[in-house]
Structure 1
Amino acid sequence: MNNAAIPVTLAPSVAATRFLVEEMFEALRQGSPGNPGITRAPYGEGEDFAHRLLADRATALGFEVSRDAALNTYVTLAGRDRSAPVLMTGSHLDSVPQGGNFDGAAGVVAGLAALVAIREVMPVPPQDLVVMAIRAEESVWFQVSYVGSRSAFGLLPAGALDGARRIDSGRSLGEHMAEWGADVAALRGGARHLDAAGIGGFVELHIEQAPSLVEAGLPLAIGTGIPGNFRYPDMVITGEQAHVGLPRRFRRDAALAGADFAAGLDRIWAEHEARGVPMAATIGRFHTDAALHGMTSVPGRFLMSLDVRAYDAGVLSALEEAVLSLVRDIENRRGVRFELGARASAPVGPVAPAVRTRLEAAAGVLGVPWQPLGSPASHDAATFAQAGVPMGMIFVRNENGSHNPAEAMDVADLMHGIGVLAGWMATPA
């Protein structure tokens, strides 16, 4: 079969999977209500339901289904040469609290549909084709990035199993994993289910998380990179609790120090934007201590979180030094003390040029309009890149952003994405 014609040959089979796609999304919605939206907490009932749903559907469709020590789920269409490097796709099935039904899940559903379509045209592909449904990608829950994918490669940060605690339960990551059947002892021992040498490439399909494609009027984008980040989830500013009438020169106001930090961080971002250097900075929590604050008290304690991300490792390192310099300056001026707390980070995820080229070619052959797009968010594909796997991404148009109940992906746009994904998986490198 002519490689260039493969995406077109697959197109009718891809279109025929639409009922499966819609049925899967409806089942996911009904099985993980968040009131509003959906909630699939990692290593909790909602996420586990989603993994069981995928495993049941894939088994009924005749695919191989397996799990690893961290309970990631793998769906495999067996290839002719089972020793050859596999081609993989997938995404995560957990969500933020009261999130939308498509963030993460769209990539898993798309992967299953792609396998069904490929098997119709190519019952035995040259090598194994694998869909990975990944656990615990949403770092809001345990404040650790990429728990499932890092566990699969033996890259889970030291101390995460005991030190990371879920925000709603207060229980450790290891406890939650063990509750649902994970082999925590194996993970403590550095068990590695995936080896980069055995993976020919990984492509993650995901809804867009800023309305770039909505703005452009395009259904798809081909990813150009995933930002790395550094995070301080539990920053504390300590000043001095005082009477509201205290003159300014005597104050050690922790809240104003927090305001200085926010304004300074925004200046850093604006300076980078003016130079055309892409980055993002977010203060997700920003508040005085509820146990101490009051209308007639100068705040002596202020709490916040910080997430800074960029597409270049050098830029990211320089940004962290700029943030630390800002902290030192505010401490000196305000007479306060910053406690940064535990630091977390994730590496920059570079897209492999060869994978990107093949995705672009598949979109071109199918006549699907697209644009290049750097991801504004973190994705498990970055773990694959860190491990040395050639990685790519497909983004699908999504109104209203993500991480909220109003995610509004059109299934017709997703079907275009499945066509491009299936074309990549079925085309030999």
Structure 2
Amino acid sequence: MANRVFDRLHDIGFDGRGMTRPSYGEGENRAHALFEDIAREHGLEIRRDWASNLFITLPGRNRDLPVVMTGSHVDTVPCGGNFDGAAGAIAGLLILCAWARAAFQPERDTTLIVTRAEESVWFPVSYLGSRTAFGLLPAEALETPRSDDGVTLRDHMLACGAHPELCGKAPVLDPAKIDCFVELHIEQGPVLLEADVPVGVVTGICGSTRYRSAVIHGQYAHSGATPRRFRSDAVMAGASMMMALHEDWKTVEAAGEEMTLTFGVCQTDPAQANFAAVPGKLDLVIDIRSRDEALLERMNTRVIEQARRVEAEFSVRVDLGPRTQSTPAVMDETIQAQVKELAAEMGIAVVSMASGAGHDAATFAGQGVPTEMLFVRNENGSHNPDESMEMEDFLLGASLLERLLRKRAS
């Protein structure tokens, strides 16, 4: 069944090179409908909340007890892979369907949530789906345009049958009524591959500070006729700023602290920049991540300081644009211990590790829900078409998730 669902998702999202299922787009809608159809075939309960997050539940014997939850997302970045998000959603679906086929009824409800819009590349709002599920989305966020078409979140919600008019009014998840949330996900880096271990037990999720639309404004000028002292070179200012922040990163690591720094976009204007011109404009994005909130604030201060420095040194103007951020999350130590105990019983090798990427699990943890993540080994990183998860590793991770959910739900 797992291969069949992965194949169906591939058919839904394939763009000729990788997977493209935009948040609140046709591909994400079709993926949610696929999960709903399979759940209905197995007699599982199905509901959607006001934001069209999908909830699939196997009822427990005592429905008054706090619910056990698992889940992930099925939207992708542009030209992404077929396992990011989908692996966790499929694992949860497999478990509930298997329990239903075996007529197994847990003591408490067990629910899979397939969240909307986890990939914030489409709407610059972190954890959009899980935040709507808890009623944490401010109403003004509904006017955020999607990056590819400029249509607002509100209108995209309406187009797929959601009810944005109920934002702030509809019933939402109550943390006190959730026993735990466990998210399975592919690892998006090389740690498990290097360790030759199939499953990771996540200790924490990094937070972030980001500038998604920074612009350095200089002055276009003739490349041969303009001496350095007369230049307002946006590219040189950007290069100086990036290298200075990179040196800060090295200093942080030398002090034993953990963070990452990425400039995922750095480009001149293709319509005006050319071989014979001093570049007058540079678009830049800055992405800093760490599990240390104080370190994120320190680095944010350094970004601002470096922006002011290059303005003076290179005669440019730096517009950082709006800052977006997410809060680090700590995973539940009791559940981590349960995972390791179960893994030992099952003969599955695991290692403890942090998550450098953000996940909906961070929202659950931030609301006080006991939360854990399981990583499955994956080659070639993530957010690219070459994600390469072995089915054997996936089934090991899903089996471990099943044992954990069964333990918590019983």
- Rounded to whole Å, the distance in 2 between the matches of 1:333 and 1:121 is 70
Q: Aligned runs of 1:353-372 on 2, under 5 Å?
A: 353-372=333-352
Q: Aligned runs of 1:298-337 on 2, under 5 Å?
A: 298-337=278-317
Counterpart among 189, 210, 214 of residue 193 in structure 2: 214
Cα offset, 1:118, TM superposition: 4.0
- Rounded to whole Å, the distance in 1 between the matches of 2:133 and 2:221 is 51
Counterpart among 133, 137, 147 of residue 128 in structure 2: 147
1:172 partnered with 2:143: no
Residues 350 and 65 of structure 1, relative CA distance in 2, 3 Å threshold: same
Counterpart among 206, 211, 235 of residue 232 in structure 1: 211
- Rounded to whole Å, the distance in 2 between the matches of 1:122 and 1:321 is 57
- Rounded to whole Å, the distance in 2 between the matches of 1:92 and 1:372 is 23
Q: Aligned runs of 1:170-209 on 2, under 5 Å?
A: 170-187=150-167, 189=168, 191-209=170-188
Deviation digits for residues 67-108 of structure 1, max 9, x if unmatched? 111111111010111111111000001011121111100001
Q: Secondary structure at the match of 1:156?
A: coil
Cα offset, 1:191, TM superposition: 3.5
Cα offset, 1:171, TM superposition: 1.0
1:11 matched residue in structure 2: none
1:16 matched residue in structure 2: none
- Report the count of equivalent residues: 408
Asked if the contact 2:209–2:325 (Cα under 8 Å) also holds between the matched residues in 1, the reply is yes
Asked if the contact 2:39–2:97 (Cα under 8 Å) also holds between the matched residues in 1, the reply is no
1:272 partnered with 2:256: no
1:242 matched residue in structure 2: 221
Asked if the contact 2:331–2:365 (Cα under 8 Å) also holds between the matched residues in 1, the reply is yes
Cα offset, 1:243, TM superposition: 2.3
Cα offset, 1:251, TM superposition: 1.3
Q: Secondary structure at the match of 2:242?
A: helix
- Rounded to whole Å, the distance in 2 between the matches of 1:156 and 1:410 is 36
Residues 264 and 158 of structure 1, relative CA distance in 2, 3 Å threshold: farther
Asked if the contact 2:53–2:116 (Cα under 8 Å) also holds between the matched residues in 1, the reply is yes
2:331 matched residue in structure 1: 351
Range with greater deviation from structure 2 (113-122 or 143-152): 113-122
Q: Secondary structure at the match of 1:203?
A: strand
Cα offset, 1:120, TM superposition: 5.9
Q: Secondary structure at the match of 1:222?
A: strand
1:81 partnered with 2:59: no
Range with greater deviation from structure 2 (151-160 or 63-72): 151-160
TM-score (normalizing by structure 2): 0.96
1:404 partnered with 2:384: yes
Q: Secondary structure at the match of 1:194?
A: coil
Q: Secondary structure at the match of 2:384?
A: coil
Asked if the contact 2:44–2:100 (Cα under 8 Å) also holds between the matched residues in 1, the reply is no
- Rounded to whole Å, the distance in 1 between the matches of 2:169 and 2:379 is 40
Cα offset, 1:22, TM superposition: 1.4
Deviation digits for residues 36-86 of structure 1, max 9, x if unmatched? 122111111111111000000011011111111111111101011111111
- Rounded to whole Å, the distance in 1 between the matches of 2:324 and 2:363 is 15
Cα offset, 1:341, TM superposition: 0.9
2:112 matched residue in structure 1: 131
**Unaligned residue ranges in structure 1 (runs of 5+):** 1-19
Asked if the contact 1:151–1:192 (Cα under 8 Å) also holds between the matched residues in 2, the reply is no
1:93 matched residue in structure 2: 74
Q: Secondary structure at the match of 2:408?
A: coil
Deviation digits for residues 347-393 of structure 1, max 9, x if unmatched? 11111111211122221111100111111211110111112211100
Cα offset, 1:192, TM superposition: 4.6
- Rounded to whole Å, the distance in 1 between the matches of 2:98 and 2:212 is 43
Asked if the contact 2:211–2:286 (Cα under 8 Å) also holds between the matched residues in 1, the reply is yes
- Rounded to whole Å, the distance in 2 between the matches of 1:183 and 1:72 is 11
Q: Secondary structure at the match of 1:373?
A: strand
Asked if the contact 1:255–1:301 (Cα under 8 Å) also holds between the matched residues in 2, the reply is yes
- Rounded to whole Å, the distance in 2 between the matches of 1:311 and 1:428 is 27
Deviation digits for residues 128-184 of structure 1, max 9, x if unmatched? 00001111111111122111111111112452210x221211111111111111101
- Rounded to whole Å, the distance in 1 between the matches of 2:376 and 2:289 is 22
Range with greater deviation from structure 2 (37-46 or 292-301): 292-301
- Rounded to whole Å, the distance in 1 between the matches of 2:138 and 2:75 is 20
Q: Secondary structure at the match of 1:76?
A: strand
1:423 partnered with 2:372: no
- Rounded to whole Å, the distance in 2 between the matches of 1:118 and 1:311 is 36
- Rounded to whole Å, the distance in 1 between the matches of 2:325 and 2:195 is 32
Counterpart among 90, 95, 105 of residue 109 in structure 1: 90
Q: Matched residues, percent identical? A: 44
Instruction: Write the letter of the residue equivalent to 2:390.
Output: D
1:24 matched residue in structure 2: 5
Instruction: Write the letter of the residue equivalent to 1:193.
Output: V
Q: Secondary structure at the match of 1:427?
A: helix
- Rounded to whole Å, the distance in 1 between the matches of 2:201 and 2:13 is 30
Residues 45 and 194 of structure 1, relative CA distance in 2, 3 Å threshold: same
Asked if the contact 2:43–2:100 (Cα under 8 Å) also holds between the matched residues in 1, the reply is no
1:45 matched residue in structure 2: 26
Asked if the contact 2:42–2:100 (Cα under 8 Å) also holds between the matched residues in 1, the reply is no
Q: Secondary structure at the match of 1:281?
A: strand
- What RMSD over aligned residues (CA atoms) do the two structures have, in Å? 1.5
Residues 121 and 276 of structure 1, relative CA distance in 2, 3 Å threshold: farther
Instruction: Write the letter of the residue equivalent to 1:34.
Output: D
Asked if the contact 2:99–2:105 (Cα under 8 Å) also holds between the matched residues in 1, the reply is no
Asked if the contact 2:68–2:408 (Cα under 8 Å) also holds between the matched residues in 1, the reply is no
Asked if the contact 1:220–1:369 (Cα under 8 Å) also holds between the matched residues in 2, the reply is yes
Q: Secondary structure at the match of 1:174?
A: helix
